[in-house]
Structure 1
Amino acid sequence: MRWQGRRQSDNVEDQRGEGDGGFPGGIGRGGFRLPTGGGFSTARGGGFSGIVILAAIFLFLKFCTNIDPMQILVGSGEDGGTLSPSQTQSPSGGDTSVKSNDEMTQFVRTILAETEDVWSGIFQAEGQTYPAPTMVLFNGQVRSACGFASAASGPFYCPGDRKLYIDLSFYDELDKKFGASGDFAQAYVLAHEVGHHVQNLIGVLPKFNQMRQNMSEADANAMSVRVELQADCFAGIWGHFTEQKGILETGDLEEALNAAQKIGDDTLQRKMQGYVVPESFNHGTSQQRATWFKRGFDSGKLDSCDTFNSKI
């Protein structure tokens, strides 16, 4: 990616060095965390109402059984498919225990700014204003409106405070242990979390939070897959417009698709435990994740990301 020299976002809270350090556990693949208290922001209307209504109809018609809602905490490391940290160093080799402005910090600030530009344009085209999320950089552990989290959670989005959280050591794991290298692969991770923010704004996450209380564990996992794949598709939409800016280089798309495949439920479960349990999937298979990212990348359109009424 040709990201150097571009605008960097100011919507960043650097909390590195403010915690007590990390503790053992596996780095999750990211996602969104459900709040332990409080509620979601209200859904927005306007041009996004179609996809919200489709999601609501799908949820209402399909899921009317029983549930333990805690079973669908996404990215919590409880689904049998997690990554395992070995250190708390940043990908550039710097010490993330103190605030810094090293190359990786500049990179994530730049990617966040690029998502702000793209989604602001999309929202503006629908007559709306895009309220950008805040990115929190942390080292080891962090407290959010969705509860306490460690690096084991991986990057995640909290709809309760509209913030996305990342310990930059995740990128080191993504590269060295799982073979998902490259700056566009790293950008995909952030764009996916921003995708969850968009879902929160247009009403998908609030509806999921409401309906999950009547879902069985299996149905909740199935719905979680559709939510995650839509976030992948939204990340692809961001990639579509990023390519139009001339920022991408040869091989960048392949980096993102490779990353999506490396963090699929089936691939991670097979790697970590030697077998797969499809009913426990809550992010999607490697093929599904790559397919939906590519769909958004190719089309650049929200209506191409209706995972709720499409065969996945």
Structure 2
Amino acid sequence: MTRVTRCLNIAWKAQFGKAKLAFGQPRLRFSTSKVNTPCGRWPSSAGGMYCSANRTIYIGVTRQVLKNPYAANHAQFMAHEYAHHVQHLAGIMKYYVNSTWRAGTAGKLAFSRRLELQADCMGAAFLRQISGSLPVEQEQWDGMVRWVHANGHKNWPKNDHGKGSSQAYWMDRGFDAGAPSACNTWSVPANRVA
């Protein structure tokens, strides 16, 4: 995860440079228990989280994670959490917060799905970019996407991260494109972020 984070730092610094935007690396904190953060409690169903208040990515290190060291899955997870840092630096997170402040319950969930699915897509685009150093065979990728399609929504009963089919769609879109430009979840119809 630390090596993947170093690679993410390099990749996103280059992207921000192309866009002439300021970039700063996030902090990375591993924890064997769910800790309180400046952003509040760690969600019970989450294996990790990003807190914009202290620009820190929190990653849970559990027995289950250690027993299943599937590199591509862990890299996708890390890249997803890192994408939230990117959203924060790019002003997307601020837009999200301002929009949800005015929205009702259904609107808040819809905005949350757009934010989370964009992070799925950006994580997958990164994974395609590093496929030379972290080989991800098409068969492995297809297996991950099939699993997400069937199970991705199960940890999120409020549907704040999108249905499994939506998560799979945005992961595939990012991986196929290999570029964050494929990840604009904010301008697509609602059925694409269900």
User: What TM-score, normalized to structure 2?
Assistant: 0.85
Does the alignment pair 1:184 with 2:72? yes
Evaluate the alpha carbon distance shift between residue 304 and residue 126 of structure 1 in structure 2; reply closer, same or farther with a 3 A threshold. same
In structure 1, stretches of 5+ residues that fail to align are 1-107, 176-180, 270-276
Does the alignment pair 1:113 with 2:10? no
Identity %: 23
Evaluate the alpha carbon distance shift between residue 219 and residue 148 of structure 1 in structure 2; reply closer, same or farther with a 3 A threshold. closer
CA contact (8 A) 1:151 1:167 kept: no
Task: Report the CA distance between 1:121 and its aligned residue.
Answer: 1.8
In structure 2, stretches of 5+ residues that fail to align are none
Relative contact order, higher structure (CA 8 A, sep 6+): 1
CA contact (8 A) 1:241 1:300 kept: yes
The residue that corresponds to 1:140 in the other structure is 33
User: For 1:170-199, what per-residue CA distance to the aligned partner results, in whole angstroms no more than 9, with x for missing partners?
Assistant: 753995xxxxx7210111111100011111
1:19-168 maps to which residues of 2 (within 5 A)? Answer: 108-149=1-42, 153-168=46-61
Q: How many residues align?
A: 189
- Structure 1 or 2, whichever has the larger Rg, is 1
Name the SS for the 1:308 alignment partner. coil
Name the SS for the 1:309 alignment partner. coil
The residue that corresponds to 1:285 in the other structure is 163
1:203-282 maps to which residues of 2 (within 5 A)? Answer: 203-243=91-131, 245-250=132-137, 251-258=139-146, 260-261=148-149, 263-265=151-153, 267-268=154-155, 280-282=158-160
User: What TM-score, normalized to structure 1?
Assistant: 0.55
CA contact (8 A) 1:185 1:255 kept: no
For 1:138 and 1:228, the matched residues in 2 are separated by: 22
Task: Report the CA distance between 1:166 and its aligned residue.
Answer: 1.2
1:11-26 maps to which residues of 2 (within 5 A)? Answer: none
From the two aligned structures, give the one with the greater helix fraction: 2
Greater CA drift, 111-120 or 220-229: 111-120
